[in-house]
């Protein structure tokens, strides 16, 4: 059950970026499972990829192709991750790139492949190849919703964001989609996401913008502590608007702010649709000596199975939060300086339960779907926020039955 997610907003088209979807039967029947995104020549492309050592064949190929050519197409399939598949998987990804290149008349090295689904199963490249010629004839700018639906695996809802902002007296558009529900944890990028804009911005600067936005969004979410083999976040800039974004400009600051907001909304939608989720939990750590120690505390709390199961039970078992903070590995931590809150309710201060705390106050907060754990370390001025979920029976069921 997704928490607080509504139907996709109006997904504004991006001039110079066209999409098509198709049903290839890679794993799922009766639904679209392949997406082709084609971009005009001159489009800038940035990408951030998983750091998992067992990265999937499409990740390897996409990174290689980005280093040698200017991309003209992104090819995505759901249902099969094409990970842990050795040389056969590499060849399957290359074969799909070649067929997509033939379909849209570009070089094979200008196609970037992406896959999501079951790890360790051979990808039937011929199924994807067979639908590409027809897909190339159906490419349109208004297929973002259909694409968001086609890349889903265990997701229960499609995820997308689209915004328009004013820069230089002109309108700039950003539209993006993402998929992800489980196997979510930072180390870039914890999912698949595809974002496009009509901004005019050169590739190296676009890459910097994406990395900055990802650091504050996709690299701040966790469902289960597992980083996928297939994670990628891609950003296309077609340059079709009149807005020029240059290094050091006011427009750059505004563009990065808008891009970060889009990434953050997509990232939080992944958490709100986490596998078996019943709670959306923000873990805010403030007054830290450094940003890193704030993150260390936040992730220790966010990943604690005992904390997460207490939230699923709506049980204000504050001792579990206290214990997680204490084992975060912070040097010279003074427990008497730490305060912990559930929303506005102080649960811990002076090294123990807050004197004003009552079980009824804690229960009131725990009954909510959206909850903030705020931890004040009393050590400095740094603060960081991580977003996570509870851990439910359904999470176990979904992952136990994933291949059946």
Q: How far apart are CA 243 and CA 368, in angstroms?
A: 43
Of the residues 272, 293, 322, the one at which a domain ends: 272
pLDDT of residue 395: 77
Is the CB of residue 401 less than 8 Å from the CB of residue 394? Answer: no
pLDDT of residue 376: 98
DSSP, residue by residue, 205-237: HHHHHHHHHHHTTGGGB-SSSPPPSS-EEEEEE
pLDDT of residue 184: 56
Identify the bridge partners of residue 346 per DSSP, sorted by sequence position. Answer: 341
pLDDT grade, residue 1 (50/70/90)?
low
Of the residues 217, 249, 272, the one at which a domain ends: 272
The helix or strand, by DSSP H or E, that contains position 64, with its residue range, turns out to be helix 57-68
Mean pLDDT of 342-361: 95
Q: What is the CATH number of the domain that holds 141?
A: 3.60.70.12
User: What is the span of the domain harbouring residue 151?
Assistant: 17-272
Least confident among 134-138, 168-172, 368-372? 168-172
Statement to judge: residues 246 and 284 lie in one domain: no
Residue 6 lies in a domain: no
Does this model's pTM top 0.85? My answer is yes
The helix or strand, by DSSP H or E, that contains position 116, with its residue range, turns out to be strand 111-118
pLDDT surpassing 90 at residue 402: no
pLDDT grade, residue 400 (50/70/90)?
confident
- Furthest-apart CA pair in the chain: how many Å? 71
pLDDT surpassing 80 at residue 335: yes
Residue 365 lies in a domain: yes
pLDDT surpassing 50 at residue 44: yes
pLDDT of residue 187: 58
Q: How far apart are CA 30 and CA 213, in angstroms?
A: 36
pLDDT of residue 246: 94
Statement to judge: residues 255 and 155 lie in one domain: yes
Angle in degrees, 0-180, between the axes of helices 318-326 and 291-303, rounded to the nearest 10: 140
Mean pLDDT of 305-334: 93
Residue 284 lies in a domain: yes
Q: What count of other Cβ atoms lies within 10 Å of the Cβ of residue 215? A: 15
Statement to judge: residues 304 and 365 lie in one domain: yes
Statement to judge: residues 100 and 243 lie in one domain: yes
Of the residues 233, 251, 272, the one at which a domain ends: 272
Q: How far apart are CA 397 and CA 80, in angstroms?
A: 20
Q: What is the per-residue pLDDT across 53-67, written as a single tens digit (0 to 9) for each?
A: 888 999 999 999 999
pLDDT grade, residue 404 (50/70/90)?
low
pLDDT surpassing 60 at residue 240: yes
Q: What is the CATH number of the domain that holds 291?
A: 3.10.20.340
Q: How far apart are CA 192 and CA 190, in angstroms?
A: 7
Active site residues: 190
Number of folded domains that form the chain: 2
Q: What is the per-residue pLDDT across 254-263, written as a single tens digit (0 to 9) for each?
A: 999 999 999 9
DSSP, residue by residue, 32-60: --EEEEEE-TT-EEEEEE---TT--HHHH
């Amino acid at each position: 059950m997704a928490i607080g997610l509504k139907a996709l907003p109006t997904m504004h088209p991006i001039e110079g970026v066209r999409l098509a979807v198709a049903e290839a039967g890679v794993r799922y029947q009766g639904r679209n499972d392949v997406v082709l995104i084609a971009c005009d020549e001159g489009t800038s492309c940035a990408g951030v990829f998983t750091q998992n050592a067992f990265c999937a064949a499409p990740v390897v190929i996409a990174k290689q192709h980005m280093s040698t050519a200017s991309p003209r197409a992104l090819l995505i399939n759901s249902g099969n991750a094409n990970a842990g598949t050795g040389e056969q998987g590499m060849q399957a990804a290359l074969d799909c790139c070649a067929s997509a290149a033939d379909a849209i008349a570009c070089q094979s090295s200008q196609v970037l492949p992406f896959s999501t689904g079951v790890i360790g199963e051979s990808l039937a490249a011929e199924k994807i190849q067979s639908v590409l010629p027809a897909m190339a004839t159906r490419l349109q700018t208004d297929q973002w919703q259909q694409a968001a639906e086609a890349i889903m695996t265990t997701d229960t809802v499609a995820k997308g964001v689209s915004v328009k902002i004013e820069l230089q007296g002109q309108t700039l558009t950003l539209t993006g989609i993402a998929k992800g529900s489980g196997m979510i944890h930072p180390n870039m990028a914890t999912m698949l996401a595809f974002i496009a804009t009509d901004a005019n911005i050169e590739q190296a600067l676009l890459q910097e913008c994406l990395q900055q936005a990802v650091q504050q969004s996709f690299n701040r979410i966790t469902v289960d502590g597992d980083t996928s083999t297939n994670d990628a976040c891609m950003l296309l800039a077609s340059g079709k608007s009149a807005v020029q974004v240059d290094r050091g400009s006011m427009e750059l600051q505004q563009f990065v702010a808008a891009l970060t907001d889009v990434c953050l909304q997509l990232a939080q939608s992944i958490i709100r649709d986490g596998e078996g989720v019943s709670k959306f939990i923000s873990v805010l750590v403030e007054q830290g000596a450094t940003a890193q120690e704030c993150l260390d505390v936040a992730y220790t709390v966010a990943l604690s199975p005992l904390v997460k199961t207490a939230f699923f039970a709506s049980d204000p078992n504050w001792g579990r939060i206290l214990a997680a903070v204490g084992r975060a590995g912070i040097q010279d931590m003074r427990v008497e300086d730490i305060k912990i809150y559930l929303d506005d309710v102080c649960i811990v201060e002076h090294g123990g339960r807050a004197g004003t705390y009552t079980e009824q106050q804690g229960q009131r907060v725990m009954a909510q779907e959206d909850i903030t754990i705020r931890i004040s370390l009393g050590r400095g001025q740094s603060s960081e926020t991580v977003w996570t979920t509870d851990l439910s029976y359904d999470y176990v069921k979904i992952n136990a039955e994933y291949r059946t």
